[in-house]
Structure 1
Amino acid sequence: MFKLNLAEEAKKLTGTTAQDTVNSANQAVQQVVDQVTETGQKVLDDVCKTTQDAGEKAVQNVTSQVSAWGKSFGQSEEKKNAST
């Protein structure tokens, strides 16, 4: 007489165990987490770069404006001094 081991027979038929299924699901979830993390990091890097570029442009604009005001103020002072 032989013993029938249902779990072993089911494993032979399906080729996987519950643990294999869990491991496969864990791998899939980990891949998604890795992709989301990579994408999130890329977005963060892009936002930082854009912010830095905008900040540098703003500083350049303010510097240019201050220089223009300074030149304008200097010219008006020269005109005022020349007319006195």
Structure 2
Amino acid sequence: MIKLYIKDKEAFNTLLAVNGLSGKELAESADITPTYLSRILNKKQSVGKKTARKIAIKLNATIEDIFFISSVDKSFTKAKRAIG
């Protein structure tokens, strides 16, 4: 399974400023809640590809500019749960 996480919060905030957007405005235009955006920015929650694409478009950037990919091996997580 692939998960996307924010690379750099400061760089993200710079993109917001350059594009004249507040976090709330970005959240509304990307069809997410400000709370969800905050969780993404604080690396408490991953973001889906569709939402990542919306955010990147609104910030005139690429997904790769803003997010990094973290892969999770499902077989490993299942094995870990069975052991624990």
Q: Tell which structure's C-alpha radius of gyration is larger.
A: 1
Higher RCO structure, 1 or 2 (CA under 8 Å, sep 6+): 2
Would you tell me which structure has more strand in proportion to its own residues?
2
Q: Which has the higher helix share?
A: 1
